[in-house]
Amino acid sequence: MIKENIWYASAFIASVYVSEDNYSGFKYNRKKAIYWHKKVFDNFYVMDIGVNLAPLYMLDKEYKNAYKIYQILSTINDHVALTALGNLYRNGFYVTKDLNKALDYYQKAFKHGNLTAPIRTAGIYRQQGKYLKSLILLIKTIINRYTAVFNENKDADEIFREM
């Protein structure tokens, strides 16, 4: 119980430094937010904290640290982490630029619920000169999203996964 309370308190402290609303009385301070998020993540291995910590590293251009956390989060198929790993490979941040690995991560992200992954995949197809393939994927994505909004028989997630 004490250990759980410690991580809750540490996570709360981390969250007040990220908040820009000033209701907490704390000023936004990314360095302190990273410090407290890292403390909770390293000591208690709370995945939700990792989801918050990795983007903070990305904002500070600490791609190596972000990559490590996204790798850990990808083991539980976190679709945001999978997409972020795709972005790192697509842009060559910390890792060697590799469009095939980026595509693999985007496909895994889509499989696990990320709705932007097909758009990013289409972008890679354009980079590779596969314009028709890119266009077809974009049209299919738009149709499926439109259908999901107006289709009362299926859950939107189910329709997106059928793409």
Least confident of 41-45, 81-85, 86-90, 120-124: 41-45
DSSP state of 1: -
- Name the band, by pLDDT with cuts 50, 70 and 90, for residue 21: low
Quote the CA–CA distance of 47 and 156 in Å, as a whole number: 26
Structure tokens at 129: 């000169």
Q: Where in the chain is the domain with CATH 1.25.40?
A: 70-163
Contact status, residue 93 vs residue 111, Cβ threshold 8 Å: no
The correct answer on CATH 2.60.40 for the domain covering 70-163 is: no
pLDDT in tens, 24-54: 666 777 888 888 888 888 887 778 888 888 9
In degrees to the nearest 10, what's the CA dihedral of 139, 145, 149, 154? 110
Is residue 22 over pLDDT 60?
no
pLDDT in tens, 128-145: 999 999 999 999 888 877
